[in-house]
A and B are shown apart, each in its own frame.
Chain A
Amino acid sequence: MSNELPVDPAALREEVKSKYREVASNPHGEFHFHTGRVAAKRLGYDAALVDRMPDAAIESFAGVANPFSLRRLEAGEKVVDAGSGAGFDCFIAAQQVGPGGAVVGIDMLPEMLEKSRATARRLELGQVEFREGLIEKMPVPDRWADVVISNGVINLCADKKQALQEVWRVLKPGGHFQFADIANGKPVPASALSNIDLWTA
């Protein structure tokens, strides 16, 4: 582990996988955060878009805010969703960029990828695909994306600088990074920062 990082990145990744594997397989279970339509409504997503989504597209959604609230995507844009989970934000993005755009969701969990791919097929969204990978090393060429979106993922990365540098790599010059994440107004004690169990609690 780097001396500059509060926790071991690989150990944190395993903890995050365990938590979100449960969100994928048991989306109506007990979590410390909201999921599904309740979460989307609370975070201010366009109700008309959300209402049109089948349950499978939204039930495992566990975002923390709305990455589309500061800028609507433009038709034809190429979008990467870093940490796409069960694909909800990708499906919103697909509606905004239209059939002439492209959306690539990246996630590290096979359970989430299986779910998101099945929903994309069901919705017949040919402009959406999902790839296995990490935000720190995305399977996307340099300068491919007009936009990178992400929702509640960077706070779960031990090495945030590496994650942000990877976003920079895949963005075209002039591209937008629009993401949602949590921030704390009061400092978290160092003892809590180094306790890996608390990162996903």
Chain B
Amino acid sequence: MMEEIGFVDVQIGQAADTFGGASGEKNARRFEVYGYPFMARKPA
């Protein structure tokens, strides 16, 4: 979707275990949900 809009150089960083140890952990594990940093650029 980002590239469709026009963003370029899309990067995804390391996953974070966002919900580990929280009450949402069970659902997060069930669907393999993690947090990620993303970066993209609008072309000059």
Contacts and interface: CB of A to CB of B under 8 A. Distances in A.
Contacts of B39: 70-71, 176-179
B5 A164 contact: yes
Nearest to A34: B22
B39 to A, nearest CB: 4
Interface residues on B, range: 20 to 34
A192 B31 CA distance: 12
Interface string B16-44: 11111111100100111111111111111
A190 to B, nearest CB: 13
A56 B42 CA distance: 34
Contact of B7 (A168, A182, A184): A168
> At the interface, is chain B mostly helix, strand, loop or mixed?
loop
A70 B36 CA distance: 10
Interface of B: 1-2, 5-7, 11, 13-24, 27, 30-44
A179 B24 CA distance: 21
Interface residues of A, number: 42
Nearest to A183: B36
A79 interface: no
B24 A171 contact: no
Nearest to B9: A176
Q: Closest 4 CB pairs between A and B?
A: A185-B32, A32-B24, A65-B35, A64-B35
B19 A32 contact: yes
A67 interface: yes
A183 B5 contact: no
Pick from B18, B21, B44 the residue with the most CB of A within 10 Å.
B18
29 contacts: A30-B23, A33-B18, A34-B22, A42-B16, A42-B20, A44-B16, A64-B18, A64-B35, A65-B35, A69-B14, A70-B13, A70-B38, A160-B1, A165-B5, A168-B5, A168-B6, A173-B43, A176-B41, A177-B38, A177-B39, A177-B40, A178-B37, A180-B38, A181-B36, A182-B35, A185-B32, A186-B30, A186-B31, A188-B31
